[in-house]
Amino acid sequence: MSKDKTSDAETATQEIESPQDVAREGSQTATSSDNDETGKSAEQWQAELDDLRDRLLRAVADVQNTRKRAEREVKDARDYAVSGFARDLLAVADNFSRALDAAKGAALDGPAKALLDGVAMTERSLLSAFERHGIKKLDPAPGDAFDPHLHQAAAQIPSDQPEGSIAAVMTPGYVIGERTLRAAMVAVSSGAPAQAADGGATAPAAKKTNGAGGDGPAKPPGGSIDVKA
């Protein structure tokens, strides 16, 4: 009787599994079940994870680019909002400058001088208002390098200035921020005029013609008259 009880106890002890064995078997069963249900291996899951990570990084980059673009557009709208209005006022500034140039060197006194001083003061006030809004005047001088982004060539003339540089300024230009509001209109130098050997300007070559206006060599007077006895 006691032997039978001892045998039954040993059998029961062998049948009881440790908690670690139970957990390991459960994990293997769950993994096997998941693989059976999804049909995906660990490499496939890793590939999907990498794809999701790439999509997330691209979405973050798009959001950052959109934010930067919006900030740039807001800045441009703030800096260049007055461009149209300022462009219309450039003609007024040109008229002030022409009036002062016309009276330059004239001996004025009394009301005429006061009027001229008022025009000069008004021009300075207008240019100061331009500068407060980021508008600057471009007033190149003869001899300055020609910049196609800031200057507009209206003509090419012989000049003592180096070839390709500015020979004369017709109207000043203006910039607003980093943009050209109006290019300065200038004449570009084509170089110094050609000089003759004696230092004078080269005269055009004379065209040789005969007395009848032909292109043959000139004949002495009377050379074509046949006098008969």
Check whether 77 has a pLDDT greater than 90: no
Q: What is the pLDDT of residue 214?
A: 42
Going by pLDDT thresholds of 50, 70 and 90, the confidence category of residue 75 is confident
Per-chain mean pLDDT for the chain: 76
C-beta separation of 189 from 166 below 8 A: yes
Residues whose CB is less than 8 angstroms from the CB of residue 93 and which lie 6 or more positions away in sequence, other chains included: 123, 126, 127, 130, 137
Q: Between β-strands 184-189 and 179-182, what pairing exists: parallel, antiparallel or unpaired?
A: unpaired
Smallest CA-to-CA distance from 76 within 180, 182, 179, 181 is with 179
Indicate the range of 31-35, 55-59, 186-190 predicted with least confidence. Answer: 31-35
Q: What is the dihedral angle through the alpha carbons of 86, 92, 95, 100, rounded to the nearest 10 degrees?
A: -90
Q: What is the DSSP letter of 188?
A: E
Q: How far apart are CA 111 and CA 120, in angstroms?
A: 14
C-beta separation of 104 from 123 below 8 A: no
Q: How far apart are CA 177 and CA 117, in angstroms?
A: 30
Q: What is the pLDDT of residue 116?
A: 87
What would the pLDDT profile of 23-45 be if each residue is shown by its tens digit? 565 555 545 544 545 677 888 88
**Cα-based distances in Å from 168 to 100, 157, 176, 187:** 18, 9, 23, 5
State the average pLDDT over residues 124-142.
91
**pLDDT above 70 coverage of the chain, percent:** 68
Q: What is the pLDDT of residue 219?
A: 42
C-beta separation of 148 from 126 below 8 A: no
Check whether 181 has a pLDDT greater than 50: yes
Residues whose CB is less than 8 angstroms from the CB of residue 156 and which lie 6 or more positions away in sequence, other chains included: 187, 188, 189, 190
Domain 83-189 bears CATH identifier 1.10.30.50? no
Within 80-110, residue ranges assigned H as helices are 83-102
Q: What is the pLDDT of residue 178?
A: 86
Q: What are phi and psi of 61, to 5 degrees?
A: -65, -40
Going by pLDDT thresholds of 50, 70 and 90, the confidence category of residue 177 is confident
Going by pLDDT thresholds of 50, 70 and 90, the confidence category of residue 61 is very high
Q: How far apart are CA 119 and CA 177, in angstroms?
A: 27
C-beta separation of 186 from 170 below 8 A: yes
C-beta separation of 169 from 142 below 8 A: yes
Q: What is the pLDDT of residue 38?
A: 62
Going by pLDDT thresholds of 50, 70 and 90, the confidence category of residue 206 is very low
Q: What is the pLDDT of residue 4?
A: 53
Check whether 15 has a pLDDT greater than 90: no
Query: How is the chain split into domains, by residue range?
Result: 46-79, 83-189
